């Protein structure tokens, strides 16, 4: 299926001269899915415009790589392939050395490690390429399996983004339901009840979106995982909910909630902003906004609780006088 053609003027680097041939090649390239060799693209361009030569296609491909519009990848076939980086989430590849098929994945753990290494050496990273070579399950066992490539990445990305958001809402619902039960302060209990109700509503909305997404492609649920976010897989509030089981006071419950919401907001905002435009990006950023609103509410309530507790305690001289009278 062809991609919708974007406004090419937005992709032209500053100072780059307009070229009708380059724009035509760029438009054809961005409409494709998967990984194209230079010859593949040249053949596609030739079908639409026989007047465009291979040399022009090759130069344009290099220009697209330099401009950040395309990525150059090597799958061990003896030739390079290219994939659009515009409107396509950053990802890595598993490559079978037998059939040369590739399967895409994205991992927060891999990205975090690369960033840590680069930061430790004060290295300014321009592009990161992770390719894992080996033998795919189909070549190893004969059992036909799906791969994640350019034709399926966006839908699988949205599926996995929804799964992570749903897991987070479920763990958040458990946290706020548990916090409601143990909170003694009436106003704080009302805040936790409100957040539990919102989590339940958001969860229902996300589950509906998930059902609608997989209804469009019955095979979508069986496709391999694309997003590997270890900490988020079981829900970002799971650890906080476990801490409540140990027994905490009202202040501690609010502080745990603040920590969970802050971590959740940072997680979804960080990865939502680094993805190219896609449904998965929109899901992450929507969720980041919701978590920010919850965080602000909890911080306000924590401050109000501290203030209420301060007013309810007698002044220190009065407490000391009362203690002397009791003696």
CATH for 153-312, among 1.20.1260.10, 3.40.50.2300, 1.20.1250.20, 2.60.34.10? 1.20.1260.10
Q: What is the pLDDT of residue 77?
A: 74
325: pLDDT strictly greater than 60: no
Q: How far apart are CA 99 and CA 101, in angstroms?
A: 5
For residues 94 and 136, is the Cβ–Cβ distance under 8 A? yes
Q: How far apart are CA 96 and CA 137, in angstroms?
A: 9
Computed over every residue of the chain, the mean pLDDT equals 84
292: pLDDT strictly greater than 90: yes
Calculate what percentage of the chain has a pLDDT beyond 90: 43
Residue 23: half-sphere exposure toward Cβ, Cα within 13 Å: 12
Mean pLDDT, residues 19-24 taken together: 83
Q: May I ask the CATH architecture of the domain 20-86?
A: Orthogonal Bundle (1.10)
98 vs 75, 224, 226, 250, 297, CA distance in Å?
11, 20, 22, 59, 55
- The helix (run of H) or strand (run of E) holding residue 271 is helix 250-274
- Cβ neighbourhood burial of 101 (10 Å; 0-12, 13-18, 19+): middle
226: pLDDT strictly greater than 70: yes
Q: pLDDT band for position 2 (50/70/90)?
A: very low
For residues 81 and 64, is the Cβ–Cβ distance under 8 A? no
Q: pTM score, two decimals? A: 0.74
Taking every pair of Cα atoms in the chain, the longest distance, rounded to a whole number of angstroms, is 104
21: pLDDT strictly greater than 80: yes
Q: How far apart are CA 324 and CA 327, in angstroms?
A: 5
Q: 297: Cβ–Cβ under 8 A, 6 or more apart, which residues?
A: 191, 194, 195
Give 88-137 pLDDT, tens digit per residue: 667 888 999 898 888 888 887 888 889 899 999 999 987 778 889 999 99
Which of 48-57, 66-75, 243-252 has the least mean pLDDT? 66-75
How many other CB atoms are found less than 10 A from the CB of residue 33?
17
**Which tops the pLDDT comparison, 3 or 194?**
194
Domain extents for the chain? Answer: 20-86, 153-312
- Cβ neighbourhood burial of 152 (10 Å; 0-12, 13-18, 19+): buried
Q: Of 153, 133, 144, nearest to 35 (Cα)?
A: 153
Q: What is the pLDDT of residue 104?
A: 85
Most confident of 79-88, 139-148, 186-195: 186-195
Strands 92-96 and 131-134: parallel
């Amino acid at each position: 299926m062809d991609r919708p053609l974007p406004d090419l003027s937005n992709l032209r680097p500053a100072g780059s001269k307009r070229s009708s041939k380059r724009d035509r090649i760029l438009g054809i390239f961005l409409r494709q899915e998967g990984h194209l060799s230079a010859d593949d693209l040249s053949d596609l361009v030739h079908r639409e415009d026989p007047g465009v030569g291979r040399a022009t296609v090759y130069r344009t491909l290099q220009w697209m790589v330099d401009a950040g519009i395309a990525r150059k990848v090597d799958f061990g076939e003896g030739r390079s392939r290219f994939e659009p980086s515009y409107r396509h989430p950053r990802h890595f590849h598993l490559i079978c050395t037998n059939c040369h098929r590739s399967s895409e994945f994205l991992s927060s753990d891999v990205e975090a490690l690369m960033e840590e290494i680069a930061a430790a050496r004060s290295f300014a990273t321009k592009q990161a390429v992770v390719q894992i070579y080996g033998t795919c399950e189909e070549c190893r066992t004969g059992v036909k399996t799906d791969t994640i490539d350019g034709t399926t990445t966006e839908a699988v990305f949205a599926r996995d983004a929804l799964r992570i958001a749903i897991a987070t809402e479920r763990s958040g619902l458990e946290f706020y339901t548990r916090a409601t039960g143990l909170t003694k302060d009436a106003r704080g209990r009302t805040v936790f009840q409100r957040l539990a109700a919102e989590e339940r509503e958001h969860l229902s909305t996300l589950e509906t979106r998930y059902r609608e997404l997989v209804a469009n492609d019955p095979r979508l649920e069986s496709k391999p995982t694309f997003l590997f976010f270890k900490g988020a897989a079981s829900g970002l509030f799971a650890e906080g909910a476990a801490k409540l089981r140990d027994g905490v006071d009202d202040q501690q419950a609010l502080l745990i909630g603040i920590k969970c919401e802050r971590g959740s907001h940072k997680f979804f905002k960080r990865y939502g902003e680094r993805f190219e435009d896609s449904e998965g990006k929109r899901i992450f950023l929507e969720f980041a906004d919701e978590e920010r609103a919850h965080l602000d509410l909890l911080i306000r309530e924590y401050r109000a609780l501290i203030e209420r507790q301060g007013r309810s305690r007698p002044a220190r001289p009065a407490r000391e006088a009362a203690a002397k009278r009791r003696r």
